[in-house]
Structure 1
Amino acid sequence: MLKSPNNCYTIDYRRVHRKSIPLHERRNMKKISLLVALVAILLVTIFFYSRPQHRLTTIGFLFPDSMYDQTWGTEGYKGMLEIAQSYETAFFYEQNINTNEEIKTAVKRMADRNVQVLYGQGMEFSDAFNEVAAKYPDIHFVVFNGESKADNVTIINIDAYTMGYFGGMTAAHHSKTGHIGVIGSFKSQPEIEGFKDGAIFENKNIKLHEYYVKTFSYDSRGTDIAENFIKNKKVDVLFPAGDGINADIMSYARDHDTNVIGFISDQSNYGPQVLMSTQVKIPAAYVKVAKLYEEGNLKGGRLNWGIKENLVGVGKLSRRMDNQFTTQLKKDLAHYKETNLLPSGETPPAEHDAYRQD
């Protein structure tokens, strides 16, 4: 005990406590403290390595034309916003970048902004991205369609052929005149090839009328071509499969109550004359790429995606569609998702087969 200045006695509990605990118990307590510290370190380590390996802070987008075209560009724009909101990233974009020199200059500007993932909205970016990839190793380049020749260039290949196939079936089934029309950018588009194959499968006597404007950019001829098809060629279902002509033709079809197959996005908002859409879910694909990057799993090469990843679809089906056909279409879609077999019993052509095993 200790004597205080006022002659009162106090007890030093610290001394009593230390002396009252046996030596072996104090050793055990030290072991327990050490064990707790090791567990804490282990938990911190697990937490650190479970975090994203590549924190995504800045993304960039390059568009060959306007991102307000209501189809390809607009869907890319939506994808950019979804990534920015989901990952709280800064984002930069440029429009009307469509020559190799413009692309390379734009890439340098993006590099100066410390962009980590740069999306090129279309295969026209493929060559330029491959050429400059080695010069910008800190940027991962992403392109829809094209070819990858570098470890930091990823190509997204979406199964557009199959959605075109189901669109062709739908158009042929619902045509009363036996004449359907395709107005596209280029004949080689996979959704157009699928559309024609699906239409012929559904009705081998269907008459297909085609016109290609040979550009993805805006083209004012769309409505004139559509009107000519309808008035002079008996076409009663249209497939406007071009970025630069789609919006005008969709508006024309709405105003003249002509049935159409939507393109790229779910275009059911135009009205019941949109029987279905050959939907490519570009925003979801871009978000999926961002997730792979953060996980440290985004590699160079080709990503083949489609219905199994829920990245393509047919949009909202119109009430104008035949009920029996609608029921069968849903079954055919489910069967394709499970087996990779089209209603014809065949797989898509090799060059368009997203799930082909080489």
Structure 2
Amino acid sequence: MLVETTIHDQAWGQKGYKGMQEIQEEYGVDIYYKEGIQSYQKTAEAVEELVSKGVNVIFGHSHVYGNHFRKLHKNYPDVEFVYFNGQYTAENVTSLNFSAHAMGFFGGMVAGEMTKSNKIGLIAVYEWQPEVEGFYEGVMHQNPDAEVQISFVNDWSDTEKAKSIYTKMKNQGADVFYPTGDLFNVPLINLIQEDQNAAIGYVSDQSNVAEHTVLTSTVQKVDVVYKLAMERLMKDELPEEPVYFDFQDGAISMGEYSPEVPEKFITQMNQEVDRYIETGRLPNE
């Protein structure tokens, strides 16, 4: 597995490594990971090194590896390249994608219900993240009077920029925040806790970071997707087209709810999620 940042981020990287460990346990294979692989040059060097060790399945744990694998996959026809969040595929390149719009919507519903100031801050990384639009729609569905402030960090790990954005939003009155990055999520939740505001966790169930602060989390079960992908690969069933995973696949879920969230509303949320799993329809549809 190639990782842009680190497997110790308590979020995306850590979940990917857990998936690798489960593959190791399930199939009895050797696993390797390399951190800080961001440029094409580093990716090419890492792939060459891993292949020399006998590796024949390489997971690129980010959308950036789509372009990297596009350039080099033909040099390694016996290697299966798998990466996240992209549209490029080939005979030995597969793209795994989370259908994250719905999870963002449900996170937005919780934020819209729980805000006291009717001002909510969304601190995302890129505009293309499906959860961004979903979150906005969820807030508006639950609380049409709310205002959603949206800013983009443009870096999964730029904690200082994320903190700066948070401070600006906080000073403008926002009291519920949805940070959707990697390395900056937990530091932001700690700040949000200090300021007695509230947060929606991301990727992992982050209620363990601050139980009363984290209202709930939008959980992407990367480890589940890795195992599903490996199962299909072993059966030669990975298609030459992007593959999508959602609540219905057990790949996405809502995390634990904070004691601050009313039981009646939690019951409503559970019913709406169950309805989406059954029908594929969001509450605004």
TM-score (norm 1): 0.76
Question: How is 1:139-178 mapped onto 2 (pairs within 5 angstroms)?
Answer: 139-178=79-118
Contact 1:221 1:245 in 2 (8 A): no
Q: Which has the higher contact order (CA 8 A, sep 6+)?
A: 2
- In terms of Rg, which structure is larger? 1
Q: From 183, 186, 203, give the equivalent of 1:247.
A: 186
Contact 2:89 2:242 in 1 (8 A): no
Q: Which residues of structure 1 form unaligned runs of 5+?
A: 1-60, 346-358
Q: From 33, 52, 56, give the equivalent of 1:112.
A: 52
Partner Cα distance (1:288, 1:213) in 2? 31
Deviation at 1:253, TM superposition (A): 2.1
Deviation at 1:184, TM superposition (A): 1.6
Q: From 318, 331, 345, give the equivalent of 2:258.
A: 318
Question: Secondary structure of 1:220's match?
Answer: helix
1:272 aligns with 2:174: no
Deviation at 1:260, TM superposition (A): 0.5
Aligned to 1:296: 236
1:74 aligns with 2:25: no
Deviation at 1:216, TM superposition (A): 1.3
Partner Cα distance (1:141, 1:221) in 2? 32
Partner Cα distance (1:228, 1:133) in 2? 44
Aligned to 2:175: 236
Q: From 142, 158, 176, give the equivalent of 1:218.
A: 158
Partner Cα distance (1:295, 1:117) in 2? 14
Partner Cα distance (1:86, 1:255) in 2? 42
Q: Could you tell me which amino acid in structure 2 is paired with residue 175 of structure 1?
A: T
Deviation at 1:117, TM superposition (A): 1.2
**Count of aligned pairs between the two proteins:** 284
Question: How is 1:63-102 mapped onto 2 (pairs within 5 angstroms)?
Answer: 63-102=3-42
Identity over aligned pairs, percent: 31
Contact 1:238 1:260 in 2 (8 A): yes
Partner Cα distance (1:224, 1:129) in 2? 34
Aligned to 2:73: 133
CA RMSD of aligned residues (A): 1.4
Partner Cα distance (1:158, 1:141) in 2? 18
Deviations 1:161-213 (A, max 9, x none): 11001001110111111111111212331111111111111111211122221
1:309 aligns with 2:255: no
Q: From 180, 183, 195, give the equivalent of 1:256.
A: 195
Partner Cα distance (1:210, 1:149) in 2? 31
Contact 1:152 1:299 in 2 (8 A): no
Question: Secondary structure of 2:159's match?
Answer: coil
Partner Cα distance (2:50, 2:158) in 1? 26
Contact 2:89 2:95 in 1 (8 A): no
Q: Could you tell me which amino acid in structure 2 is paired with residue 108 of structure 1?
A: E
Q: From 149, 166, 179, give the equivalent of 2:119.
A: 179
Deviation at 1:132, TM superposition (A): 1.8
Structure 1 runs of 4+ with >4 Å offset: none
Q: Which residues of structure 2 form unaligned runs of 5+?
A: none
Q: Could you tell me which amino acid in structure 1 is paired with residue 128 of structure 2?
A: S
Partner Cα distance (2:195, 2:117) in 1? 16
Deviates more, 1:112-121 or 1:294-303: 294-303
Deviation at 1:91, TM superposition (A): 1.0
TM-score (norm 2): 0.95
Q: From 274, 277, 285, give the equivalent of 1:334.
A: 274
Partner Cα distance (2:261, 2:96) in 1? 32
Partner Cα distance (2:241, 2:91) in 1? 7
Partner Cα distance (2:150, 2:243) in 1? 31
Partner Cα distance (1:109, 1:179) in 2? 49
Contact 1:167 1:198 in 2 (8 A): yes
Partner Cα distance (2:249, 2:229) in 1? 12
Deviations 1:38-74 (A, max 9, x none): xxxxxxxxxxxxxxxxxxxxxxx00011221221111
Question: Secondary structure of 2:33's match?
Answer: strand
Q: From 283, 289, 295, give the equivalent of 2:223.
A: 283
Partner Cα distance (2:267, 2:8) in 1? 34
Partner Cα distance (2:143, 2:86) in 1? 33
